[in-house]
Amino acid sequence: MTLPMESMYQQIILDHYKHPQHHGLPEDFDAEVHHVNPTCGDEVTLRVRIADGQIAELGWEGEGCSISQASTSVMSDLVAGKPIDDAMQLQEKFLGLMQSRGNSELTEADEDELEDAVAFEGVSKYPARVKCALLGWMAMKSAVAEAGWSGTDVKQTEKSGSQS
């Protein structure tokens, strides 16, 4: 079908929704969190295992709108196996993109780092849907915190968006 160029639903989003990455809950984990987005009733349960300052393993299950599920899938691809510091920086960057109200100014370097997550840029124009796109990222952040990681440059205390 033809959709406006600025469609929120980029093909990448639909692909991740249909074929979610890191789907399924690992047996071996340090922390499990359950986050809910009351706007759409989206839910995600996410488990992480951390080792040597890295997200050694990450898996999730969830249900809800395509934006929430695809974003969680994209996030998983980006952070699994990465140093936690990098994951937190990406999380901050994605949060900034989502809070830009359609006026993001991503540099090429940002785009390289965010990879598939750039596809969610259009979501930032729709305040009602921003929480959907952030659900998995917020869950990842609080799971890592619960697993006992004490960050270097990201505040541990603010669990922004969790369970909100």
Name the site residues for another protein (rule: CB under 8 A). Answer: 1, 3-4, 7-9, 14, 17-18, 39-42, 64-67, 126, 128-129, 132
C-beta of 91: minimal distance to another protein in Å? Answer: 23
Please identify, using beta-carbon distances, which residue of 65 and 84 lies nearer to another protein: 65
C-beta of 157: minimal distance to another protein in Å? Answer: 31
Contact 129, 98 (CB under 8 A): no
Please identify, using beta-carbon distances, which residue of 42 and 121 lies nearer to another protein: 42
Distance CA 75, CA 143 (A): 13
Tokens of 23: 């789907």
Please identify, using beta-carbon distances, which residue of 44 and 87 lies nearer to another protein: 44
Say which residue the tokens 């160029």 belong to. 5
C-beta of 4: minimal distance to another protein in Å? Answer: 5
* DSSP structural state of residue 55: E
Please identify, using beta-carbon distances, which residue of 17 and 94 lies nearer to another protein: 17
Distance CA 156, CA 151 (A): 6
C-beta of 40: minimal distance to another protein in Å? Answer: 5
Tokens of 32: 């499990």
C-beta of 98: minimal distance to another protein in Å? Answer: 16
The residue among 15, 13, 45, 23 whose CA lies nearest residue 163 is 45
Please identify, using beta-carbon distances, which residue of 77 and 126 lies nearer to another protein: 126
Strand partners for 44: 35, 62
